[in-house]
Structure 1
């Protein structure tokens, strides 16, 4: 979950969901709406900086780490907030 306040657009709460892994057969059955999508691809996490903006790189990377640790991540602008001592 990522809280992204923006004075021009109001506050947003953005979610990144882990849909699991697709089988080869499930990948073959993916249908795209031509008026919305040209295609899809799978990429290594190391390629993210070349594919999207920094804020999304942080959000996706945090999601991958949260999945690996079995937790839900809370972010503010794509970054974990400082914890109070």
Structure 2
């Protein structure tokens, strides 16, 4: 045994105990994953969740040990009956604690542009949603909560610029 070797090579059992202790004590983040989906007229797909007062981007919360991209794909299939290829990451937004919720990390992925035929196949297949629709930006601005709108605008900017962004409660963070 090499005394210069890292702990995990010298004593794998001790290393696993160290990791287990950290896993038990460190904060856990709630993770949500939404998808920015557009149609051929550049309208944005919105959903109307029955459990929220406002419209939202399609997506939802990740389950235990599920990646954000897998959560986004699962949510689209569960709620809209559509198996969508999840593309690149556009935004990561840290949302501070609010009300009874702890802080969370919210991801927005590019869902691409749906053809007229693909858009016609979308249907509400979950009792969590009341409706879905493609909306022009002016309507999106009226229907989304302000911080979700900020996040959505940043996702649209990331599409145009070709690079993602890190947000804090919907606001872009400049690097220092």
Q: TM-score per shorter chain, which class?
A: 0.7 to 0.9
Q: For residue 13 of structure 1, what is the aligned residue in structure 2?
A: 105
1:49 to 135, 138, 141: 141
Secondary structure (helix, strand or coil) at the match of 1:21 reads: strand
Does the Cα contact within 8 Å between 1:4 and 1:13 map onto a contact in 2?
yes
Give 2:130's aligned residue.
38
Query: Which is further off, 41-50 or 52-61?
Result: 41-50
Question: Where has structure 1 moved over 6 Å in runs of 4 or more?
Answer: none
Asked if 1:4 is matched to 2:95, the reply is yes
TM-score, length basis structure 1:
0.85
Q: For 2:174 and 2:123, locate their aligned partners in 1 and report how far apart those are by CA, in whole Å.
A: 41
Between the two proteins, the alignment pairs up a number of residues equal to: 84
- Of residues 18-27 and 45-54 in structure 1, the stretch that sits farther from structure 2 once superposed is 45-54
CA RMSD of the aligned region, Å?
Answer: 1.6
Q: Which has the higher strand share?
A: 2
Flag the structure with more relative contact order, 1 or 2, with Cα contacts below 8 A and sequence separation at least 6.
1
| Structure showing greater Rg | 2
Q: Does 1:22 align with 2:22?
A: no
Stretches of structure 2 lacking an aligned partner (at least 5 in a row): 1-91
Whole-Å separation in 2 of the counterparts to 1:79 and 1:67 = 17
Q: With the length of structure 2 as denominator, give the TM-score of the two structures.
A: 0.44
Deviations 1:46-72 (A, max 9, x none): 223311211111000000000110001
